[in-house]
């Protein structure tokens, strides 16, 4: 016998946004210190994604993280474009980040500083990485 009531497949599904909550990583002590939510969780995710060397972490997949930074330190404009595109692809893999804009690349004595704005579900947040 077939039930006469409306099935789950035919009813309307309601899409809900799951809150952005994660463990709080204390980078100075190397310990987990509670939880982090909202913009702080997104800032932490940005920092983690850019701090990890691609393919070298035992806990992340091989496509997580930044490639060898030396590949982007070329004085040619193609190096800057490739770096911007790689940062965008790394960060936009996180569904909380919608786009990455306003890149500023600055040569430093100890490497290249990339500053940018990440447009997220909770607004804009500034980020940077020293290569």
Domains of the chain and CATH, by start: 21-130 (3.10.450.40)
Q: For the whole model, what pTM was predicted?
A: 0.74
DSSP 5: S
SS (H, E, C) 96-117: CEEEEEEEEEEEECCEEEEEEE
Reduced to 3 DSSP states, what percent helix, strand and coil does the chain have, rounded to the nearest 5? 25, 35, 40
For residues 121 and 124, what is the distance between their CA atoms, to the nearest angstrom?
A: 8
CA 26 to chain centre: 17
Q: How confident is the model at residue 62, as a pLDDT? A: 78
**Sequential pLDDT tens for the chain (131 residues):** 565 555 555 556 666 655 678 889 888 888 988 999 988 898 888 888 888 888 787 877 777 888 766 666 666 667 778 888 888 988 998 888 999 999 998 888 887 888 999 999 888 989 888 87
Q: Please report which residue ranges of 2-130 form alpha helices under DSSP H.
A: 38-51, 77-92
């Amino acid at each position: 016998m077939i039930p006469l009531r409306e099935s789950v497949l035919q009813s309307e599904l309601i899409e809900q946004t799951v809150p952005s909550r994660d463990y709080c990583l204390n980078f100075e002590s190397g310990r987990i210190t509670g939880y982090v939510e909202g913009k702080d969780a997104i800032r932490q995710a940005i920092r983690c994604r850019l701090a990890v060397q691609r393919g070298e972490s035992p806990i992340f997949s091989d496509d997580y993280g930044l490639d060898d930074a030396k590949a982007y330190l070329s004085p040619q404009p193609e190096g800057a474009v490739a770096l911007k595109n790689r940062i965008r692809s790394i960060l936009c893999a996180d569904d909380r980040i919608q786009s990455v804009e306003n890149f500023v690349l600055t040569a430093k004595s100890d490497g290249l500083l990339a500053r940018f704005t990440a447009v997220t579900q909770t607004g804009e947040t500034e980020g940077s990485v020293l290569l």
